[in-house]
Structure 1
Amino acid sequence: MNQVMPVARIEEDARLLALAAFGILDTPPERGFDDIVHLARQLCAAPVALISLLDRDRQWFKARAGFPPCETDLDRSVCKFVLAETGVLQIPDLTLDPRTLGNPLVTGEPHLRFYAGAPLRSPGGEVLGSLCVIDHAPRPGGLTPAQVENLERLARQVVDQLVLRRALAERDRGERQRTAIAETLAAVVATGGDLDASFRAVLAGAMRAVPAAEAGAVEMRDGDDLVYRAVTADLTPHLGLRFPVQGSLAGACLREGIPLLLPDVLRDPRAKRDVLESSRLRSCLLVPVRRGGTMVGVLKLQSSRPAAFSEDDLKAATVFAATVATGLAEAGEVAARSEASRTEYRRRAVFDSAHDYAIIVLDLEGRVTDWNSGATRILGWRSEEMCGKPADAFFTPEDRRDGIPDKEMRSAMENGRGIDERWHLRRDGERFWANGEMMALRDEDGAAIGFVKILRDRTEQKEAVARLEESRERYRLVARATNDAIWDWDLATNHVLWNEALNEAYGHASGAVEPTGEWWIAHIHPEDRARIDSAIRAVIDGAGTAWTEEYRFLRADGSYAHVLDRGYVIRDAEGRARRMIGAMLDLSERKQAEDALRESERRFALERGLLHAVFQQAPVGISIAGATAEVPSVINARAEELLGHGLGTEGDARYVSYGAQHPDGRRYEPGDYPTLRALRHGETVRAEEMHYRNAATGLVRPLEVSSGPVRDADGTIQAAVTVLVDVEDQRRAEAEARKLAALVEQSRDFIGLAAPDGTVDFVNEAGRRLVGLPDLAARTNRILDYFVPGEHDRILADVLPAAERDGFWEGELHFRNFATGAGVPVHYNIFQVRDRNGELLGYGTVTRDLTEQHRARQALQASEASLRAVLDTVPVGILFAEAPSGRIVGGNRRLEEIFRHPVLPSPNAESYGEWVAFHEDGRRVEPNEYPLSRIIREGAEHAALECHYQRGDGTRVWIEIVGVPMRDESGTIVGAVVAVADIDARHRAEERQDLLNQELSHRMKNLLAMVQAIAASTLRGAADMDTAREVLGSRLVALGKAHDVLLGGAAESASLAAVVREGVGVQESAGRRVAFVGPDVEIGGKAVLSLALTLHELTTNAVKYGALSVPDGTVTVEAALVGPAAAPRLRIAWTERGGPPVVPPARKGFGSRLIERGLTAQVSASLALDYRPEGVSCVIEAALTDFQATG
């Protein structure tokens, strides 16, 4: 198989150093990394996921799922190819890729087929390895875009975890170093000047402060040699060993006087091989020991691993090297100075060397008595500025308010030391996070004499912790983003944690879910339960790591979902199962994925077809010439059109017949043609001018010819692709571009272009005038600056995000005039401008000034408001229609009140048939009979119509429609307007007048007939003429009174009894033989006349034909209130008895119609007229309120 892509050795060394700095290789499993690979496997639906870290000769897996080995050699690594990638590397089929087709993991177990890996890029840019997913089946379409994005996000999570892990380790290391320094200082002081004891104490402290060190030594100079004066246990055989200063690593450190960090001593020419082999030395720290400016020795810490130490380790070692100087000072001054001066010397030596620590000495009142250079570097104040002042200067105001400095000193006094982490202040006011320790200083008798406070700047670590929390939050969001129900089963506690998808996909609310394995198993279909339970137990109790099953899972609504469930067992170092993590996938997702694959294959075939179509239909000439017979030569239609012929004969002979000339008129030789130059020499020809005589037309056209070789994986030229461009077309396009530029510059619209970051690159002259800016100033602003301040929030929240997300936004906004500050109303749009490759060039706009339009709109709105006020106040309905279509464009409120439905949105005159109206004779009004239609379609100057219109509530109303045309300035009819009047009251008045006329005519006839009947009856019963005259006169007077009641109608109301009495009392005999029974209620004037007329008509018919036509006949008029008391109804029953047998009339005369229609029309009464043989009966019933109405 192919080897790793070669990179410069220095870059590879830097990458390995960056990897080693994280201290991650060969560490135990960690939950955060394990969770990421399991989530990657779920999101990408892959059986294998790995966090692979690439060492010098191996790849080691920090976390793995579905892949048992914990590491492989680089020969079997696929992840190594990610080193050369900037994004996700995808290999759809490992058996087809030349880099991997021979890989043993591909050709043999576990038969890997698909690979996708996202590089793990450190903050310094070095690729440490990859987060990859692997499948045992090829994936021609690779990962979906969403899966690629998720894999990249998770890869960044891995790096965040690594950075945070290192930051936390550095914090712990700093704590250890600070404690080790304090303890070492105490140990050195306790030696009482014993140099070797001091050296051993310093070496022990350094080993504790730098955990990566496996061994160490203090080497002191003795003449031209260095002597091992103190060693750790592993180097005991070397104690007392001497070696020359010249020619050794420690000697180089001593001579140069600078600390050395050597990641790999095997690469350093100064190293002595024999010493290296005996001391198992591979990487080391070398720090010179100074005394009074003279190099007197070296502190060495070493490891058998390459790149074991960091720069922080070197700084810590430097502090301890200074402590060696303290030991020397202790020994050298023991006989010459007092204990106080020796303590001062030691303290000053430490002060001058511990640059990474702020060491501050305080008196018992908290005033600064000493201040080292590290304090000046970290806090900013010099020693002379702080000595004698309170130490609370570098505490925050809130800590000073809360008395924290005093609390720290009290804690140190009571407990010996106080450790805390909090914010502190530098001299310039900047805050930084520090961990610190305050210890009480005591004299020989144990009495407190002050305090020492040690601070170390840990702001970077504090921020790293914050980044970790952000990283964890992103991890939680990624887990929530999947539709799979992800579960995490703690096998020790039997606690199962589900993500939100259990509710979203299967309906189980979190509050209703028992977090146990039993709840999960209980929700499996009874037919599947035993099988699944057994399979899960088998993988937990066995040695396997993966479990996959399909079964039916109970949803919250009682239905079952067919799911694919996959789980992975996490085991401890002894192989015991501790956790099981998995995801339950609804198989409908799989179906969608399969459909998507088929669609991808279909689109792949389509794309191949499209490429072929593009080749054939491209606007430029394209030819492909094969280097051998196995690669066919082809030419597209545009090339044939430009050349006037096809490929011609095979081989070089075809070029002899071509009619190409150089610009200077020389004929092209076969070897001059760009295609042959690309095939034979691999030359790439770009835009070479060629004059070609078209074989079909004979015309010579200038062409630009470009040609280049096509090589296979081995670099062999297989073909040459040649592109022919008609230069005349190009020149025409350039001319069009110039015209477009002129159009942009001369346009009255604001035309602008901004860079992707929102900086304005161009505004045309009209645009600059609109906003009051000169040319240069227009280019120094950003998009947001062009708008009034009140719209900035909308621009940032809606407009710019929409342009970035959707590619376009438009709407009305206000530009800001830079000269006056006034707002300018505009119709603004913004759209993405991209090149042919789809790369974003910036954002463009073509914006219209709406100032005049707004003025016209305001005037129009004012006019419309006035017109609307007029239309809404006129007492008739107004309707507008446009010509020639007849479409209804509007109407006023009165029209809707008349029609009792909204104005119909009729699209044309033919749709007027939707209206329902009738002529007086009952015929329906046709669409072409309406005035609107007659005006618009026939050109009528005036049109009118009266009709009975059926309204929206089902009632009908008589209306009158009158219309006239609307014409433009040329006299052309552009529409019509009609007025619609409610003439229902007028029409009803006319009907009542007709009814009254008919009634008067009928009444006169009845009156005459009644007079005749009275006269005849009187004369038959009279004894003589005088008696007859007297009786007849009285009866005629009574008839007149009844007539007055019927036709008077002046009173507002009358009693029911009076109406009955007067209505039937036309003759004494009738009055005596008609009996009234019932309540004497008042009835309104509208009902009085109708009831009197009805009773009169019934009386007249009874006198003529019924019970009153014979001496023994009687009539009963019975009234009663029926129905609920809240809404009573009045029922009046007319019943005849004792008359001749009744024969129903053969036809209805006016009287019968009057009886049936009178009260029913006036008071909405129901009327039942029955011609029974024993006597006529008539029952009238209506609401009492209708009888009593006066209107």
Structure 2
Amino acid sequence: MPASPPWTEAERVAALQSYAILDTPTEPEFDDLVRLAAEVFDAPIAVVNLVAQDRQWFKAETGIGAREMPLDVSICAHAILQNDFMVIPDTRDDPRFAGNPLVTAQEGLRFYAGALLRSTEGLPIGTVCVLDRSPRPQGITAHQRLVLEVLARQVMTQLELRRALGAQQERAEELRTQMEQRATVEAALRHTEERLRLANRATNDAIWDWDLVTNHVTWNEALASAYGHGLDAIETTGEWWISQIHPEDQNRIDHSIHNVIDDPLAHSWSDEYRFRRADGDYASIFDRGHVIRDEAGTAVRMIGAMLDLTEQQRTRAELAESEERLRLATQAAEVGFWDVDVIHDILTWPPIVKRMFGISADVPVSMRDFYEGLHPDDREATSAAFAAACDPVVRGLYDVEYRTVGKEDRLLRWVAAKGRGIFDDEGQCIRVLGTAIDITERKRAEAELRELNEGLELRVAREISERGQAQDALRQAQKMEAVGQLTGGIAHDFNNMLAVVIGSLDLLKRRLGDTDARAERYIDAAADGAQRAAALTQRLLAFSRQQPLSPEVLDANKLVAGMSDLFSHSLGGDIRLETVLGAGLWRTHADRNQLENALLNLAVNARDAMGEGGRLTIETQNVHFDDRYVSENFGVPPGQYIMIAVTDTGTGMPAEVIAKAFDPFFTTKAVGKGTGLGLSQVYGFVRQSGGHVKIYSEPGQGTTIKIYLPRFFGEALEAPRTALKDLPLGDLQEVVLVVEDEPTVRQFSVEALNELGYRVLEADGALAALRLLDAHPEISLLFTDIVMPDINGRKLADEAKRRRDDIRILFTTGFTPNAVVHNGVLDPGVELISKPFTVEQLAAKMRSVLER
């Protein structure tokens, strides 16, 4: 609960009543304030709200259309109780307004910000507030709060002025009462008439005298001279006067003047409005009048004068607009004005010109500062130009460019100055006025442009050469991409077919058991051929960068060192192996098995290139690719990489062989000595891992192949550990939903899972799978292909997780372009088994996923 305020409600209401503001007409001063508040906050509603004892009353409002509301729906009343600035980003989140119909309605008030109106004694009497029918969770800015608080102070200033005017009127009333006590009403009237007569003769203001009893208005001659209304052509009534007021001001003036007339205690009236001239234009008027009453307090006469503000307002507006244009123009152009009083040798510089001479804004200056600030090489020509501008005979135009040496900072600047002399009637130069602009940046740009033009021919030649290299590299990359798409598609189809072959052979072998040794040999031979075909498709997928990878954080130095024995056995005794491992090598994020396979492929290729023996060197180091290197090697972002280089002393390769080295099935070996997929597999794996491969080779000089893999930033994650058992079986209580669009692959998966003891449901697509998920809440695991028509496996898994957060997911694929988000690289926690797979692999993977 908020603390009790340091005032009573009676004290607060008394403070409000002391301003005599309740139920007064609208006034432009307050209307302008609420319009400004609404504009600053971009809000549909803004109010100057006064909280009385039994109601809240609006002195000014926009967006409401009413002047008061009951207190039981008031939001501002809570600001009064809070006794502080109040912001409510969303009123529906505030329990204080849970039952407020202004808040709970369909288009109810959702946002509120209000600053308190405080009397001089510090008592809150109301608020200046803005409201919105939409919530604003961000609240308001410090600038908006300051604006609202300033507007609140402006409202109180207006109220204090009203109260002061009331006090002044009360003092005038006391004086008038004393005068009435000393003389009769007739004497007072004669005195007033005499003053009016003198005023009519002494002023250009239109003076009016309104006999309230007869409704007759007498005007002086200024009505005709100032506004064009001839005295013999007008109706001398109060209605005629009101009818000449602008339609938008008529009701307000009529009400305000009659409020004064009808109030026995009121004697003075003043207001501003637009008054129609005889030609139809409107003049801006400040009108003020004095009410004369009889002994009973009834108004019998009112005398006033109209002051024409039109010219004054126009002049003020034009001057303000001119000054603003000049200020904005000079600021935008960074132009400085200067003025030299030649007679008294006085120099006037604004801060912007002082800055051009390296002088602080508050430091006084003289002509000596001007001459001493000029660069020695420019001093003579600049001084001569200034002297010519002062010469009564020459009267030259001062238009020069010179360098300055900063008095305080010693910086060199360029300045462009223009000016001309002002001469008196006798031909003597009395002043020289002008402008100065800092053109240092322009001069620097001109120098750079000259330098650029001087070397343009050389740069153009270099650009042409680099562009040719880039185009060659782009064409090669496009060729490799096209071949990759072809091989990836072929591998995908092979994997689906091999999944059926390998799986069916596996099931057949389990069914036959040991009953037929010859049949078992046939099955083993067929399975071996199918596995070798599967390995071939994996190489094709590696080249096309569509194989699923399982990356981990690697230390390439440890990986190379751990492969030393494998390298030695593969190379033979005629080749000497050397490793040069870089100190402080960064870590990388890659598939360990694929990287080991890539290095082994390169080592075997190097061995075959060194038929009579030689030396194989494996080197690691940290490298950084800059923008220039990237521009010559498409597909590689700039940054930090680790490099693994494999160098041999073999026969080397000519340029035409290097151009085709990564193409699938391209080989220089004899028939039967190689598939031509070794280097293409290395290329595909490295590019899929976000890296780059480069070949450096010359015939007879050996070959170096460099693998670049991106540096890993972050903490290493432990690879998931799973314990595999021999053919772990399932339980009929564990229900598996198989989703596969290839019928033969789906049939094998269903039969294999049935063999393993699982209860299996099957679907040929995502829509059918979702219907089964809804109908069978007992489903434990979703086993789905990734690449399917219409809805792919990843989207199916997301929808299944949305419906059943506890369901386990196992993906399978023969080819995965972007199937698991990161271009074929698995997210942490995503489980996948690649086609083709054996029953043993499926059994182990099922238990790993279900028991995780």
Q: TM-score range by the shorter chain?
A: under 0.3
Report the TM-score when normalising by structure 1. Answer: 0.20
Compare CA radii of gyration and give the structure with the larger one.
1
Q: Which has the higher contact order (CA 8 A, sep 6+)?
A: 2
Structure having the larger proportion of residues in strand? 1
Report the TM-score when normalising by structure 2. Answer: 0.26
